[in-house]
Amino acid sequence: MLGELTLRGEATISSKEIGEAIGAGSHTVRKDFSYLSETGISGSGYDTVRLRDAVASRLGLDSETRACLVGLNQLGLALLGHARMFSSGLTLVAGFDPNLNVVETIEAGVPVYPSYEITEVVRRERITLAVITVAGGNIREIAERLVQGGVRGIVNLAPQVLKIRDAGVHVNNLDFIGEFRVVSALLAHAGRPAAV
């Protein structure tokens, strides 16, 4: 968001505008930004360039993170084509798939490899972040290969929960189906009359 504002030439943004964009109160925004030692000017807001740089520095987005994607299925290909996903310091440098036919026939903007080459390629390309979209198969084995190569962070979009014993590896399991169920339950509950 801040990057887009600076590209559009907008010099300042208020805590209220930031809060509305991210679904938080302006007080929360001001409190959180105080941890960055960033303070806005009352009535003028935050300098967008300074704020963008402070957030990027604190979150490590001001240095390159080399990433790979494992699973060149429809979801994986959609992510490959989503330019904003691999911005803000993320650089996608490789794709992997367990199916050799996919690897040999796919047209991607990055080099693609069979899954059995994960450890070697991750090590050679200095990849530290992986996104897993493999729908079936053994994601634990895939994760082990990634970690052996040097990956320290995994975003798991596969339908199975992934746990890594290595405390130095961070895993974020995202369950799309579970999220649909939560929203569905909220909708069902919202349609019921209040209990008397």
The pLDDT value given to residue 12 = 79
Of 38 and 133, more confident: 133
Domains of the chain: 2-59 (1.10.10.10), 65-178 (3.40.50.720)
Contact 93, 155 (CB under 8 A): no
pLDDT tens for each residue of 40-62: 565 677 777 777 777 767 766 66
Strand partners, 155: 131, 172
Alpha carbons within 13 angstroms on the beta-carbon side of residue 24 total 13
Contact 130, 144 (CB under 8 A): no
pLDDT tens for each residue of 138-166: 899 999 999 999 999 999 999 888 999 88
The identity of residue 125, as a single letter, is E
- The structure's pTM equals 0.71
The pLDDT value given to residue 144 = 95
pLDDT tens for each residue of 100-112: 888 888 888 889 9
For the stretch 17-43, what's the b/e string if a residue is b when 16 or more beta carbons lie within 10 angstroms of its beta carbon? bbbeeeeeeeeebbeebeeeebebeee
Contact 154, 170 (CB under 8 A): yes
